[in-house]
Chain A
């Protein structure tokens, strides 16, 4: 694992946001470890996982931050949005209230995240169609109006989980590579693709992260 995780050409920081209990942590564990827990503990503060993806022969390291959904934690977790180039805004298709809160989360992103952040709306828990409280068409409509992409997933069955994360990364990748082409030959890197820490890798060629060797 360590070997393949260490090399990458691009590093994208993504955040998972949305109301408490919509399945953010399970989407993350399904995507990064292919695991699912029926009753996973509620997230306090923030949790973090990474996974490498291949895009046109390049390695993209997706660094995903899973945040606490409860109101109380928003005030102290907005720092996590800094440097994020993508966000998965998750709601539970069986709980209308979590969908109604999507606008509040968008506002949250507008206030704390980079204005160019790529946002994907994700309706999770499609494994419970008999309890559906939000129709696909309605969510698609909202996504269109807010200019977001929309995916429906089931972290439980795994349906569409891979596809949604990959699509978001692809979207960011295409913006990043366009940005790179625009400034071909220069070393300029758009700030939003430069997460503000030691592992940040300039666009424009294979690179090795600053860290040597891992601990785990």
Chain B
């Protein structure tokens, strides 16, 4: 079974000039797990790797170098802007007669504000996934001991595995390092040497506590850099989820010696993904057809066309797409499924890229519409609260089955490799002529 499915995928990826349409088609059945093929497939779909294999090595080298340069320049720039600032330790305000320009101070404040905002969300990215949890070895580099990290709290109903820096915030001695930035700026100059890529747990003392793992630090760097490069979007909640999906897949599904490049590769793929879906994050486009509102009304139209009973149900209860679909679109469904299932959903959604620049969003629409139809029987039994609850906490379903209904008819029809015994007999692809279930 596995060989039947993995062989054609591996073969397609070994070809000198890769046929994107073919691998996208094969990926509709899920990229085979355990063979380290997914990162290559995602990189191809996101336009990071060229289809000509001969160009891979040089492309990767160039882009990885470029990322390092950007990180270096950006964080050095941040450092320079802080070096120019002299802070009065009493008032916590810049001292003007010592020469720091207002613009340097403004630059510092802008960076610090952004960093704190991003850091807050990175700390709550996939808190339940081991990969993103606290790494005591990493923290030890910043003088944080196991005792500092503290034990898990045992409050009633507390399910969190995440750490709490209880002793750090209480300990005045340690507090000199981990104090909130408002009280810490005066110490910045002494800490500036930390402000580089190798020792950035607190990003030069701007953060009041270090990142909990190297992965969190990587996410912060990528998001900071993106925010400064893409001034139209900067940082929006949800981007942390997107970049962490890509980084997680690249880091966990590659050869150990390739892990050091997961961050650079993930960054560029994230940038390319944003060029495909970034409009939904852009406030100025909210009312436009390509903005988030446009997508929500398109979703309702799609539901109306394919599942009129569901559409009638939602309309009669007065439930617009705003009540459940903002997160569906914003996170490209990453928030609606457990991580492995979400990765599987992305195999299909990213494959839409072969259909043109709007292909990813089209595919996403198709999957979202199908998600409604997939639970139609239950949905129609639900009242107002239950309907909203169900769509906000989408039930655990067989994603392969779900995606089988969402992919274009021609994709499965043309497939001559995979046995159809597992898949739906009559998927009726949403992207093509849809017939329902």
The answer to the question of A76 belonging to the interface, with a C-beta cut-off of 8 Å to chain B, is yes
Task: Give the nearest-CB partner of A199 in chain B.
Answer: B384
Query: Are A38 and B236 neighbours in the complex by a CB distance under 8 Å?
Result: no
Query: Are A70 and B160 neighbours in the complex by a CB distance under 8 Å?
Result: no
The answer to the question of A135 belonging to the interface, with a C-beta cut-off of 8 Å to chain B, is no
Q: Which of A73, A128, A212 contacts B169 (CB 8 A)?
A: A128
Query: Are A210 and B383 neighbours in the complex by a CB distance under 8 Å?
Result: yes
Please name all residues of chain B whose beta carbon is closer than 8 Å to the beta carbon of A131 when the two chains form the complex: 169, 180
Query: Are B286 and A76 neighbours in the complex by a CB distance under 8 Å?
Result: yes
The answer to the question of B123 belonging to the interface, with a C-beta cut-off of 8 Å to chain A, is yes
The answer to the question of B381 belonging to the interface, with a C-beta cut-off of 8 Å to chain A, is yes
Query: Are A34 and B330 neighbours in the complex by a CB distance under 8 Å?
Result: no
Question: Which residue of B281, B324, B389 has the most chain A CB atoms within 10 A of its CB atom?
Answer: B389
Stretch from A43-51, A116-124, A142-150, A175-183 at the B interface:
A43-51
Query: Are A20 and B384 neighbours in the complex by a CB distance under 8 Å?
Result: no
CA distance A198 to B318 in the complex (A): 7
Q: Could you give, for residues 383-412 of chain B, a 1 whenever the CB lies within 8 Å of some chain A CB and a 0 otherwise? A: 111111110100000000000000000000
Query: Are A39 and B123 neighbours in the complex by a CB distance under 8 Å?
Result: yes
Query: Are B381 and A213 neighbours in the complex by a CB distance under 8 Å?
Result: yes
The answer to the question of A68 belonging to the interface, with a C-beta cut-off of 8 Å to chain B, is yes
Please name all residues of chain B whose beta carbon is closer than 8 Å to the beta carbon of A46 when the two chains form the complex: 322-323, 326, 392
The answer to the question of B358 belonging to the interface, with a C-beta cut-off of 8 Å to chain A, is no
Query: Are B326 and A72 neighbours in the complex by a CB distance under 8 Å?
Result: no
The answer to the question of A55 belonging to the interface, with a C-beta cut-off of 8 Å to chain B, is no
Task: Give the nearest-CB partner of A216 in chain B.
Answer: B386
Please name all residues of chain A whose beta carbon is closer than 8 Å to the beta carbon of B164 when the two chains form the complex: 38
Please name all residues of chain B whose beta carbon is closer than 8 Å to the beta carbon of A35 when the two chains form the complex: 157-159
Looking at chain A's contact residues, is the secondary structure mostly helix, strand, loop, or mixed? loop
Query: Are B316 and A198 neighbours in the complex by a CB distance under 8 Å?
Result: yes
Query: Are A130 and B292 neighbours in the complex by a CB distance under 8 Å?
Result: no
Number of interface residues of A (CB under 8 A): 49
The answer to the question of B317 belonging to the interface, with a C-beta cut-off of 8 Å to chain A, is yes
The answer to the question of A204 belonging to the interface, with a C-beta cut-off of 8 Å to chain B, is no
Given contacts A37-B127, A45-B326, A198-B316, contact A63 B385 (CB under 8 A): yes
Query: Are B162 and A39 neighbours in the complex by a CB distance under 8 Å?
Result: yes
Please name all residues of chain A whose beta carbon is closer than 8 Å to the beta carbon of B170 when the two chains form the complex: 130
CA distance A37 to B155 in the complex (A): 10
Please name all residues of chain A whose beta carbon is closer than 8 Å to the beta carbon of B316 when the two chains form the complex: 198
Within 8 A of A (CB), among B284-332: 286, 292-293, 316-320, 322-327, 330-331
Q: Which of A47, A197, A212, A215 contacts B379 (CB 8 A)?
A: A215
Closest chain-A Cβ to B264's Cβ sits at a distance in Å of 26
Please name all residues of chain B whose beta carbon is closer than 8 Å to the beta carbon of A37 when the two chains form the complex: 127, 158-160, 162
Task: Give the nearest-CB partner of A198 in chain B.
Answer: B317
Closest chain-B Cβ to A111's Cβ sits at a distance in Å of 16
Q: Which of A70, A211, A212, A213 contacts B384 (CB 8 A)?
A: A211
Query: Are A20 and B237 neighbours in the complex by a CB distance under 8 Å?
Result: yes
Please name all residues of chain A whose beta carbon is closer than 8 Å to the beta carbon of B327 when the two chains form the complex: 44-45
The answer to the question of A4 belonging to the interface, with a C-beta cut-off of 8 Å to chain B, is no
Q: Which of A39, A75, A211 contacts B386 (CB 8 A)?
A: A211
Given contacts A42-B121, A198-B317, contact A215 B390 (CB under 8 A): yes
Closest chain-B Cβ to A190's Cβ sits at a distance in Å of 19
The answer to the question of B80 belonging to the interface, with a C-beta cut-off of 8 Å to chain A, is no
Please name all residues of chain B whose beta carbon is closer than 8 Å to the beta carbon of A186 when the two chains form the complex: none
Given contacts A37-B158, A38-B162, A44-B237, contact A209 B383 (CB under 8 A): yes
Question: Which residue of A21, A39, A156, A216 has the most chain B CB atoms within 10 A of its CB atom?
Answer: A39
The answer to the question of B382 belonging to the interface, with a C-beta cut-off of 8 Å to chain A, is yes
Task: Give the nearest-CB partner of B327 in chain A.
Answer: A44
The answer to the question of B238 belonging to the interface, with a C-beta cut-off of 8 Å to chain A, is yes
Task: Give the nearest-CB partner of A65 in chain B.
Answer: B323
The answer to the question of A7 belonging to the interface, with a C-beta cut-off of 8 Å to chain B, is no
Closest chain-B Cβ to A28's Cβ sits at a distance in Å of 12
The answer to the question of A136 belonging to the interface, with a C-beta cut-off of 8 Å to chain B, is no
Closest chain-B Cβ to A83's Cβ sits at a distance in Å of 9
Q: Could you give, for residues 131-172 of chain A, a 1 whenever the CB lies within 8 Å of some chain B CB and a 0 otherwise? A: 100000000000000000000000011100000000000000
Q: Could you give, for residues 11-35 of chain A, a 1 whenever the CB lies within 8 Å of some chain B CB and a 0 otherwise? A: 0000000001100000000100111
The answer to the question of B124 belonging to the interface, with a C-beta cut-off of 8 Å to chain A, is yes
9 A-B pairs whose Cβ atoms sit less than 8 Å apart in the complex:
A20-B237, A36-B158, A37-B160, A38-B160, A44-B331, A44-B335, A197-B384, A199-B317, A214-B386
Known contacts A36-B155, A49-B389, A211-B386, then 8 further A-B pairs from the complex at CB < 8 Å, ordered by chain A residue: A34-B157, A38-B162, A41-B124, A41-B335, A42-B124, A77-B322, A130-B170, A216-B389
